[in-house]
Amino acid sequence: MRMGIPNILSIAGTDPTGGAGIQADLKSFAAHGGYGMCAVTALVAQNTQGVREIHAPPTSFLRAQLDSVSDDVTIHGAKTGMLGTVEIIETVAAWWDETYSDNRPRPALVVDPVMVATSGDRLLDEEAEESLKEFLHRADLITPNVPELAILAGEALASSAEELLAQAEKVADAHQAVILAKGGHMNSDEVTDTLVFPAESGTRPEAYSRSSQRIETRNTHGTGCSVSAAFATLRAQGASWQEALATTKDWMQRALATSDQLDVGQGNGPINHFPD
Ligand SMILES: Nc1ncnc2c1ncn2[C@@H]1O[C@H](COP(=O)(O)OP(=O)(O)O)[C@@H](O)[C@H]1O
Ligand SMILES: Cc1ncc(COP(=O)(O)O)c(N)n1
Protein backbone atom coordinates (compact mmCIF):
# COMPACT_ATOMS: atom_id res chain seq x y z
CA MET A 1 0.00 0.00 0.00
CA ARG A 2 1.28 3.51 -0.77
CA MET A 3 2.03 5.69 2.25
CA GLY A 4 0.49 9.14 2.64
CA ILE A 5 -2.61 10.73 1.20
CA PRO A 6 -2.95 10.35 -2.61
CA ASN A 7 -3.78 13.34 -4.85
CA ILE A 8 -6.82 12.47 -6.95
CA LEU A 9 -8.03 14.62 -9.86
CA SER A 10 -11.61 14.83 -11.10
CA ILE A 11 -12.16 16.12 -14.64
CA ALA A 12 -15.91 16.61 -14.79
CA GLY A 13 -18.91 18.95 -14.80
CA THR A 14 -20.55 20.69 -11.85
CA ASP A 15 -23.72 20.32 -9.82
CA PRO A 16 -24.53 23.43 -7.76
CA THR A 17 -26.78 21.34 -5.48
CA GLY A 18 -23.72 19.31 -4.53
CA GLY A 19 -24.98 15.82 -5.29
CA ALA A 20 -23.36 14.84 -8.59
CA GLY A 21 -20.40 15.71 -10.81
CA ILE A 22 -17.30 17.41 -9.36
CA GLN A 23 -19.01 18.10 -6.06
CA ALA A 24 -19.86 14.42 -5.53
CA ASP A 25 -16.37 13.39 -6.62
CA LEU A 26 -14.67 15.65 -4.07
CA LYS A 27 -16.86 14.26 -1.28
CA SER A 28 -16.17 10.69 -2.37
CA PHE A 29 -12.39 11.33 -2.57
CA ALA A 30 -12.50 12.73 0.98
CA ALA A 31 -14.69 9.91 2.28
CA HIS A 32 -12.07 7.40 1.10
CA GLY A 33 -9.01 9.28 2.34
CA GLY A 34 -7.87 11.04 -0.84
CA TYR A 35 -6.84 14.66 -1.41
CA GLY A 36 -9.37 15.89 -3.98
CA MET A 37 -8.59 18.18 -6.92
CA CYS A 38 -10.75 19.18 -9.89
CA ALA A 39 -10.67 20.64 -13.40
CA VAL A 40 -14.12 21.76 -14.56
CA THR A 41 -15.22 20.69 -18.04
CA ALA A 42 -18.65 22.35 -17.96
CA LEU A 43 -20.73 24.43 -15.59
CA VAL A 44 -24.13 22.83 -15.26
CA ALA A 45 -27.18 24.66 -13.90
CA GLN A 46 -28.94 21.62 -12.47
CA ASN A 47 -30.66 20.41 -9.34
CA THR A 48 -32.20 17.18 -8.07
CA GLN A 49 -35.00 17.56 -10.61
CA GLY A 50 -33.09 18.13 -13.82
CA VAL A 51 -30.65 20.10 -15.95
CA ARG A 52 -31.55 23.69 -16.89
CA GLU A 53 -28.49 24.98 -18.74
CA ILE A 54 -24.96 23.95 -19.62
CA HIS A 55 -22.11 26.43 -20.08
CA ALA A 56 -18.79 25.09 -21.32
CA PRO A 57 -15.86 27.52 -20.94
CA PRO A 58 -13.43 27.69 -23.91
CA THR A 59 -11.39 24.48 -24.14
CA SER A 60 -8.19 26.57 -23.91
CA PHE A 61 -9.30 27.40 -20.38
CA LEU A 62 -9.91 23.72 -19.57
CA ARG A 63 -6.39 23.00 -20.83
CA ALA A 64 -5.06 25.81 -18.61
CA GLN A 65 -6.77 24.23 -15.59
CA LEU A 66 -5.31 20.80 -16.40
CA ASP A 67 -1.79 22.19 -16.97
CA SER A 68 -2.02 24.19 -13.74
CA VAL A 69 -2.51 20.96 -11.83
CA SER A 70 -0.04 18.73 -13.67
CA ASP A 71 2.72 21.38 -13.82
CA ASP A 72 2.71 21.62 -10.04
CA VAL A 73 1.22 18.52 -8.41
CA THR A 74 1.91 14.81 -8.69
CA ILE A 75 -1.39 13.21 -9.65
CA HIS A 76 -1.74 9.75 -8.09
CA GLY A 77 -5.14 8.92 -9.54
CA ALA A 78 -7.60 10.55 -11.96
CA LYS A 79 -11.18 10.18 -13.07
CA THR A 80 -13.24 11.72 -15.81
CA GLY A 81 -16.98 12.32 -15.52
CA MET A 82 -19.07 14.55 -17.79
CA LEU A 83 -17.00 15.42 -20.87
CA GLY A 84 -19.93 16.74 -22.90
CA THR A 85 -18.55 17.51 -26.36
CA VAL A 86 -16.05 16.29 -28.95
CA GLU A 87 -13.89 19.39 -28.29
CA ILE A 88 -13.73 18.74 -24.54
CA ILE A 89 -12.85 15.07 -25.05
CA GLU A 90 -10.08 15.99 -27.51
CA THR A 91 -8.70 18.60 -25.09
CA VAL A 92 -8.50 16.15 -22.20
CA ALA A 93 -7.00 13.46 -24.46
CA ALA A 94 -4.31 15.83 -25.79
CA TRP A 95 -3.39 16.95 -22.26
CA TRP A 96 -3.19 13.35 -21.05
CA ASP A 97 -1.10 12.17 -24.01
CA GLU A 98 1.31 15.11 -23.85
CA THR A 99 1.65 15.06 -20.06
CA TYR A 100 2.39 11.35 -19.85
CA SER A 101 4.30 10.92 -23.12
CA ASP A 102 7.75 10.76 -21.45
CA ASN A 103 8.84 8.56 -18.56
CA ARG A 104 6.66 10.40 -16.10
CA PRO A 105 4.67 7.85 -14.04
CA ARG A 106 1.13 7.69 -15.37
CA PRO A 107 -1.66 7.70 -12.76
CA ALA A 108 -4.44 5.14 -13.08
CA LEU A 109 -7.37 6.62 -15.01
CA VAL A 110 -11.00 5.81 -14.23
CA VAL A 111 -13.46 6.85 -16.94
CA ASP A 112 -17.10 7.18 -15.95
CA PRO A 113 -18.72 7.33 -19.41
CA VAL A 114 -21.37 9.87 -18.34
CA MET A 115 -24.01 10.17 -21.07
CA VAL A 116 -27.42 10.80 -19.49
CA ALA A 117 -28.25 12.10 -15.98
CA THR A 118 -30.64 10.28 -13.62
CA SER A 119 -33.17 12.98 -14.58
CA GLY A 120 -33.00 11.82 -18.22
CA ASP A 121 -31.13 14.91 -19.49
CA ARG A 122 -28.28 14.31 -21.95
CA LEU A 123 -24.81 15.21 -20.65
CA LEU A 124 -22.87 14.01 -23.72
CA ASP A 125 -23.63 15.22 -27.26
CA GLU A 126 -24.81 12.27 -29.35
CA GLU A 127 -22.11 12.99 -31.96
CA ALA A 128 -19.45 12.79 -29.21
CA GLU A 129 -20.08 9.07 -28.51
CA GLU A 130 -17.46 7.99 -31.07
CA SER A 131 -14.87 10.39 -29.62
CA LEU A 132 -15.57 9.03 -26.16
CA LYS A 133 -14.96 5.48 -27.43
CA GLU A 134 -11.60 6.61 -28.86
CA PHE A 135 -10.75 8.23 -25.50
CA LEU A 136 -11.37 4.96 -23.67
CA HIS A 137 -8.13 3.26 -24.66
CA ARG A 138 -6.43 5.47 -22.04
CA ALA A 139 -8.63 4.10 -19.26
CA ASP A 140 -7.60 1.51 -16.66
CA LEU A 141 -11.20 1.22 -15.45
CA ILE A 142 -14.48 2.14 -17.19
CA THR A 143 -17.62 2.35 -15.02
CA PRO A 144 -20.76 2.22 -17.22
CA ASN A 145 -24.32 1.81 -15.99
CA VAL A 146 -26.63 -0.48 -17.99
CA PRO A 147 -27.65 2.04 -20.70
CA GLU A 148 -24.06 3.32 -21.10
CA LEU A 149 -22.71 -0.22 -21.41
CA ALA A 150 -25.25 -0.98 -24.17
CA ILE A 151 -24.10 2.10 -26.13
CA LEU A 152 -20.41 1.21 -25.69
CA ALA A 153 -21.12 -2.37 -26.80
CA GLY A 154 -23.27 -1.17 -29.72
CA GLU A 155 -26.13 -3.41 -28.59
CA ALA A 156 -29.63 -3.21 -27.09
CA LEU A 157 -30.06 -2.82 -23.30
CA ALA A 158 -29.00 -5.96 -21.40
CA SER A 159 -32.02 -7.62 -19.80
CA SER A 160 -30.22 -10.36 -17.83
CA ALA A 161 -27.03 -10.72 -15.81
CA GLU A 162 -25.60 -12.96 -18.58
CA GLU A 163 -26.22 -10.34 -21.26
CA LEU A 164 -24.65 -7.66 -19.06
CA LEU A 165 -21.55 -9.80 -18.53
CA ALA A 166 -21.23 -10.51 -22.27
CA GLN A 167 -21.43 -6.79 -23.08
CA ALA A 168 -18.85 -5.99 -20.39
CA GLU A 169 -16.47 -8.61 -21.83
CA LYS A 170 -16.88 -7.12 -25.32
CA VAL A 171 -16.12 -3.59 -24.09
CA ALA A 172 -13.20 -4.78 -21.88
CA ASP A 173 -11.57 -6.44 -24.89
CA ALA A 174 -12.28 -3.53 -27.25
CA HIS A 175 -10.55 -1.00 -24.98
CA GLN A 176 -8.18 -3.28 -23.01
CA ALA A 177 -9.59 -1.91 -19.76
CA VAL A 178 -11.30 -3.32 -16.69
CA ILE A 179 -15.08 -2.76 -16.72
CA LEU A 180 -17.20 -2.12 -13.64
CA ALA A 181 -20.65 -3.15 -14.89
CA LYS A 182 -23.03 -1.43 -12.44
CA GLY A 183 -26.38 -3.08 -11.90
CA GLY A 184 -28.47 -0.24 -10.50
CA HIS A 185 -30.69 -0.07 -13.59
CA MET A 186 -31.44 -3.83 -13.71
CA ASN A 187 -34.92 -4.95 -12.78
CA SER A 188 -34.00 -7.06 -9.74
CA ASP A 189 -34.29 -7.11 -5.92
CA GLU A 190 -30.54 -7.42 -5.61
CA VAL A 191 -28.15 -4.88 -7.14
CA THR A 192 -24.95 -6.48 -8.42
CA ASP A 193 -21.78 -4.70 -9.54
CA THR A 194 -19.30 -6.81 -11.49
CA LEU A 195 -15.65 -6.22 -12.39
CA VAL A 196 -14.84 -7.75 -15.76
CA PHE A 197 -11.25 -8.04 -17.03
CA PRO A 198 -10.01 -8.07 -20.62
CA ALA A 199 -8.90 -11.41 -21.99
CA GLU A 200 -5.12 -11.84 -22.08
CA SER A 201 -3.63 -14.28 -24.59
CA GLY A 202 -6.94 -16.07 -24.93
CA THR A 203 -7.76 -16.47 -21.23
CA ARG A 204 -9.90 -14.14 -19.17
CA PRO A 205 -9.24 -13.52 -15.45
CA GLU A 206 -12.23 -14.43 -13.28
CA ALA A 207 -14.83 -11.66 -12.86
CA TYR A 208 -15.62 -10.40 -9.33
CA SER A 209 -19.14 -9.50 -8.23
CA ARG A 210 -20.59 -7.82 -5.16
CA SER A 211 -24.35 -7.79 -4.54
CA SER A 212 -26.57 -5.95 -2.11
CA GLN A 213 -30.26 -5.72 -1.34
CA ARG A 214 -31.88 -3.00 -3.50
CA ILE A 215 -32.68 0.03 -1.34
CA GLU A 216 -36.03 1.69 -2.03
CA THR A 217 -35.02 5.33 -2.37
CA ARG A 218 -35.19 8.19 -4.85
CA ASN A 219 -31.82 9.43 -3.62
CA THR A 220 -29.70 8.08 -6.45
CA HIS A 221 -28.43 11.41 -7.83
CA GLY A 222 -24.66 11.16 -8.21
CA THR A 223 -24.24 7.46 -7.32
CA GLY A 224 -22.22 6.71 -10.47
CA CYS A 225 -19.94 9.75 -10.00
CA SER A 226 -19.29 8.77 -6.39
CA VAL A 227 -18.51 5.12 -7.21
CA SER A 228 -15.93 5.97 -9.90
CA ALA A 229 -14.31 8.55 -7.58
CA ALA A 230 -14.11 5.95 -4.80
CA PHE A 231 -12.38 3.48 -7.14
CA ALA A 232 -9.85 6.12 -8.27
CA THR A 233 -8.95 6.82 -4.63
CA LEU A 234 -8.82 3.24 -3.40
CA ARG A 235 -6.70 2.04 -6.33
CA ALA A 236 -4.26 4.96 -5.78
CA GLN A 237 -3.94 3.76 -2.18
CA GLY A 238 -2.92 0.34 -3.47
CA ALA A 239 -6.17 -1.57 -2.93
CA SER A 240 -6.62 -4.69 -5.08
CA TRP A 241 -9.52 -4.72 -7.55
CA GLN A 242 -11.42 -7.06 -5.24
CA GLU A 243 -10.83 -4.86 -2.16
CA ALA A 244 -11.82 -1.71 -4.06
CA LEU A 245 -15.07 -3.33 -5.22
CA ALA A 246 -16.00 -4.61 -1.74
CA THR A 247 -15.19 -1.30 -0.02
CA THR A 248 -17.00 0.83 -2.61
CA LYS A 249 -20.12 -1.33 -2.78
CA ASP A 250 -20.49 -1.59 1.02
CA TRP A 251 -19.94 2.16 1.41
CA MET A 252 -22.49 2.94 -1.33
CA GLN A 253 -25.03 0.71 0.41
CA ARG A 254 -24.62 2.68 3.65
CA ALA A 255 -24.56 6.02 1.76
CA LEU A 256 -27.91 5.15 0.12
CA ALA A 257 -29.41 3.67 3.30
CA THR A 258 -28.68 6.85 5.30
CA SER A 259 -29.48 9.33 2.52
CA ASP A 260 -32.81 10.16 4.21
CA GLN A 261 -30.79 12.00 6.89
CA LEU A 262 -30.25 14.68 4.23
CA ASP A 263 -32.96 17.08 3.11
CA VAL A 264 -31.76 18.23 -0.31
CA GLY A 265 -34.21 19.02 -3.08
CA GLN A 266 -37.52 17.61 -4.24
CA GLY A 267 -36.39 15.25 -6.99
CA ASN A 268 -33.73 12.53 -6.94
CA GLY A 269 -31.75 13.57 -3.89
CA PRO A 270 -28.06 12.95 -3.20
CA ILE A 271 -26.50 10.10 -1.21
CA ASN A 272 -24.93 10.59 2.22
CA HIS A 273 -21.20 10.51 1.39
CA PHE A 274 -20.22 10.28 5.07
CA PRO A 275 -22.47 7.56 6.48
CA ASP A 276 -20.30 6.48 9.43
N1 LIG B 1 -31.44 1.14 -5.29
C2 LIG B 1 -30.17 0.78 -5.05
N3 LIG B 1 -29.86 0.02 -3.97
C4 LIG B 1 -28.57 -0.32 -3.71
N5 LIG B 1 -27.54 0.05 -4.48
C6 LIG B 1 -27.78 0.80 -5.58
C7 LIG B 1 -29.10 1.20 -5.93
N8 LIG B 1 -29.05 1.95 -7.06
C9 LIG B 1 -27.75 2.01 -7.41
N10 LIG B 1 -26.97 1.32 -6.53
C11 LIG B 1 -25.51 1.24 -6.54
O12 LIG B 1 -25.06 2.54 -6.89
C13 LIG B 1 -23.98 2.50 -7.80
C14 LIG B 1 -24.36 3.19 -9.11
O15 LIG B 1 -25.17 2.30 -9.87
P16 LIG B 1 -26.02 2.64 -11.15
O17 LIG B 1 -27.33 3.22 -10.70
O18 LIG B 1 -26.09 1.38 -11.92
O19 LIG B 1 -25.14 3.70 -11.94
P20 LIG B 1 -25.40 5.24 -12.32
O21 LIG B 1 -25.51 5.99 -11.04
O22 LIG B 1 -24.18 5.59 -13.11
O23 LIG B 1 -26.66 5.27 -13.15
C24 LIG B 1 -23.63 1.02 -7.94
O25 LIG B 1 -22.60 0.71 -7.01
C26 LIG B 1 -24.93 0.31 -7.59
O27 LIG B 1 -24.68 -0.99 -7.07
C1 LIG C 1 -22.09 17.28 -13.91
C2 LIG C 1 -22.76 15.97 -13.80
N3 LIG C 1 -22.05 14.84 -14.00
C4 LIG C 1 -22.66 13.65 -13.93
C5 LIG C 1 -24.01 13.56 -13.60
C6 LIG C 1 -24.66 12.21 -13.58
O7 LIG C 1 -24.98 11.83 -12.31
P8 LIG C 1 -26.23 10.88 -12.06
O9 LIG C 1 -26.45 10.05 -13.31
O10 LIG C 1 -25.81 10.00 -10.95
O11 LIG C 1 -27.36 11.82 -11.80
C12 LIG C 1 -24.71 14.74 -13.37
N13 LIG C 1 -26.03 14.73 -13.07
N14 LIG C 1 -24.07 15.93 -13.49
- pLDDT per residue as tens digits for the range 189-248: 999 999 999 999 889 999 999 999 999 999 999 999 999 999 999 999 999 999 999 999
Torsion on CA atoms 244, 245, 246, 251, rounded to nearest 10? 90
- Separation of CA 211 and ligand 1 centre (Å): 11
The pTM of the whole model exceeds 0.95: yes
Mean pLDDT of 53-81: 98
Q: Is the pLDDT of residue 122 over 70?
A: yes
Q: Hey, what amino acid is at 38?
A: C
Mean pLDDT of 139-148: 97
Q: Dump strand ranges (E) for the chain.
A: 7-12, 35-40, 43-47, 50-55, 77-80, 108-111, 141-142, 178-181, 190-196, 208-213
pLDDT confidence of residue 2: 55
Cβ(54)–Cβ(124) under 8 Å?
Answer: no
* Domain range list for the chain: 7-261
Catalytic residue IDs: 182, 220, 222-225
Task: Give the CATH number of domain 7-261.
Answer: 3.40.1190.20
- Separation of CA 171 and ligand 1 centre (Å): 20
pLDDT confidence of residue 223: 97
Cβ–ligand 2 distance for 7 under 6 Å, the answer: no
pLDDT confidence of residue 85: 97
Cβ–ligand 1 distance for 223 under 6 Å, the answer: yes
- Separation of CA 173 and ligand 2 centre (Å): 26
Compute how many other C-beta atoms are within 10 angstroms of the C-beta atom of residue 262: 15
pLDDT confidence of residue 117: 84
Is the ipTM above a cut-off of 0.85?
yes
Q: Which residue's CA lies nearest to atom 4 of ligand 2?
A: 21
pLDDT confidence of residue 13: 98
**In the beta sheet, which residues pair with residue 248?**
none
- Separation of CA 20 and ligand 2 centre (Å): 5
Q: Which residue's CA lies nearest to atom 9 of ligand 1?
A: 184
Higher per-residue pLDDT: 2 or 101: 101
DSSP-derived secondary structure letter, 186: S
Cβ–ligand 2 distance for 13 under 6 Å, the answer: yes
Cβ–ligand 2 distance for 247 under 6 Å, the answer: no
Indicate left, alpha or beta for 232 from its phi (over 0: left) and psi (-120 to 50: alpha).
Answer: alpha
pLDDT confidence of residue 112: 98
The ligand with the least distance to the CA atom of 212 is 1
Q: How far apart are CA 35 and CA 65, in angstroms?
A: 17
Please report, in angstroms and rounded to a whole number, the separation of the first and last CA atoms in the chain: 23
Quickly state the pLDDT bin for 120 (edges 50, 70, 90).
confident
Q: Is the pLDDT of residue 175 over 90?
A: yes
Q: Which residue's CA lies nearest to atom 24 of ligand 1?
A: 182
